[in-house]
Amino acid sequence: MCVATTALMILWAPILGGQEKGQERAQDLLQVCGKNCTVQFENIDVRVIEVVMKKGSKLTMHIHRCPFLWLARGPGEVKVTSPDGTSETLAVKANQAQFSNAVTHAMENVGSTDWRSVVAEQKCAPATPERR
């Protein structure tokens, strides 16, 4: 699960870039995801979330405040939109993984099937022996 989540996080960073205009108003992924997201693991350093997007479903504008990794659990096609309105549609392969820096974006499943991914979000404060 951890490898999958890490892979997922990696995918979005280079594509979406860093923090952008409007990110200060964006909510955390879990606040916009509702029943489409399930926290699989969380500790002081990382949060691992399974995301299930039904065909045609959307995740409204949200923010990843710290670096993250994502891993596609199956193939799909997702549209990723930045706060400035620009968007890109990605054809994602099963088990594709990507690392990303902090980013604000919205997502839509524009494929013909449901799409599953795992997101592993690093928490911003550095890990130290005192924090463990």
With cut-offs at 50, 70 and 90, classify the pLDDT of residue 126.
low
Domain map (residue ranges) of the chain: 2-124
Segment 23-62, tens digit of pLDDT: 457 898 888 888 889 999 999 999 999 999 999 999 999 9
Does 5 have pLDDT greater than 60?
A: no
Q: Span 2-124: which CATH code?
A: 2.60.120.10
| Full strand arrangement of the beta sheet holding 27-28 | 27-28, 58-64, 103-109, 76-81, 87-92
Segment 55-91, tens digit of pLDDT: 999 999 999 999 999 999 999 999 999 999 999 999 9
